[in-house]
Amino acid sequence: MRQLKKILIVGGGTAGWMTAALLSKLFKDLYEITLVESEEIGIIGVGEATIPAIKKYNELLGLNENEFMQATQGSFKLGIQFVDWLRLGSSYIHGFGVIGRDLEWLRCHQYWLKLNSLGRASDFADYSINTAAALENKFMRADPKMAESPIGQIAHAFHFDASLYARHLRGLAEARGVKRREGKVANVTLRGEDGFVQSVTMGDGEVIAADLFVDCSGFRALIIEQAMKTGYEAWNQWLPCDRAMAVPCARAEPFTPYTRSTARPAGWQWRIPLQHRTGNGHVYSSQYMDDAEAEAILLASLDGEQLAEPNRLRFVAGKRKQTWNRNCVAIGLASGFLEPLESTSIHLIQSAIIRMVRLLPDAGFDPATIAEFNRQTDFEYERIRDFIILHYKATERDDTPFWRYCRDMEVPDTLQRKIDLFAANGRIFREDEELFAEESWIQVFLGQGVTPRGYDPLVDIKSDAQVAEFLDDVEGVIRKCVAVMPTHADYVARVCPAKPA
């Protein structure tokens, strides 16, 4: 058994510096870690919105949350609002955290399905602290002293400036011994006998060798694809959007504690509120809309002064056939791309880094270790893919060719099983360690109009009056909790105000 000695990270940005920061924190001085990047190459910042799992990564790094928020112009996120996805004029929120509370052995939504079938249920958002607070633009962190109250069950993530996050992590990584090398990679050398990566050659001729190479070079995929020809599995038959443009505008009110996704004629538009500005973007299909029309739609719907020219990118939804190939691990956009509809881009970086740490090889690179990494990665990507496809498939929209295609398309069997099961009696089961929990699927199913034909038969153990009393109590307690919460703007201004940009 021969230990690794040198790890080379090719590419900076969010993926590169998240990798460097965590490896240097966990491995201390065990390995020599170098990161190469070029300031001449632009960074694609698609990940300014996150999901709660990022808190685990920040905790592993030992980040102070308030300081991190100040350094990244951050705001808090309780969920994502989806506007016009089911039909024009519709809206729902996919909130993080719990939905109400369970009653005996059944989840809260089963009782809601019963009361809703009788025409007596309130809006589903009224039964979760995250969604109810989001609609009122209220926010506070969960209070661990109130674990039995909805106040103790608030789940949050963040919006932040991805470039500032990368800069913050770079400082931590370099302080822990990571060496940064400025410059472009001109060539990648593979060993003739086995195809392993031997070294990279920089633009000035310097040759840098390593044992393990981490490809964080974005869509260019310098090592994993350009050099190693790993191959790519495209999913554009289910996710036809292949273009995006992003543009910042001046901060506008309300200062929402949620991301907004608004469906457009051939895709969707995001709105992400930061302390110093608002991030906006339009994801669309070039088959159904040209660039000029997409830009016009985006710029016409900004709610603040435009601050820059749109940043454009092209992509194909999918993933590498192997995200770990021989002695190269691809992380971030080099490994694949799923549009940021459910804010999973940064999570996929985080999970890949942690998976690599858990399966870190010796210099022998046992094939079983690599195979397990790829198996877990494939499962994670495919289940996130299915969750995103659901938003497109479950729609009543038929006003454009794009939406008619999405409504009528065949979907993966793994997703169709979930749809069929939920449509019967509102049941959903989390498989293995898939990212999205039952609460997420429930909210998107209902929000997208997948209303079950029935409910769990065990609901009828309770009388209609008992079900109504239970749900009224849940709704009432949440309403009282939201009433005492500060506004998102006030909370941020009090606990983590960033310096003016």
Catalytic residues: 77
Residue 294 contacts residue 245 (beta carbons within 8 Å): yes
One-letter amino acid identity for 462? K
> Do 288 and 400 meet the contact criterion of CB atoms below 8 Å apart?
yes
Given a contact cutoff of 8 angstroms between Cβ atoms, the answer to whether 455 and 113 are in contact is yes
- DSSP secondary structure letters along 185-214: EEEEEE-TTT--EEEEEETTS-EEE-SEEE
Q: Say how far apart CA 107 and CA 445 lie, in whole Å.
A: 15
Tokens of 14: 């969010």
Tell me which residue has tokens 């199913």.
445
User: How many other CB atoms are there within 10 angstroms of residue 477's CB atom?
Assistant: 16
Torsion-angle region of 159 (φ positive above 0: left; ψ -120 to 50: alpha; else: beta): beta
Eight-class DSSP state of 224: I
Helix (H) or strand (E) holding 215: strand 212-215
Q: Determine which helix (DSSP H) or strand (DSSP E) holds 9, and give its type and residue range.
A: strand 6-10
Asked if 164 and 277 touch (Cβ cutoff 8 Å), the reply is no
The torsion of the CA quartet 197, 199, 200, 204, rounded to 10 degrees, works out to: -170
Kindly give the interhelix angle for 413-425 and 367-393, rounded to the nearest 10 degrees.
Answer: 50
| DSSP character string of 283-324 | EE-TTT--HHHHHHHHHHT-SS-B-SPPEEEE--SEEES-SE
Structure tokens that stand for 193 in this block:
């006998």
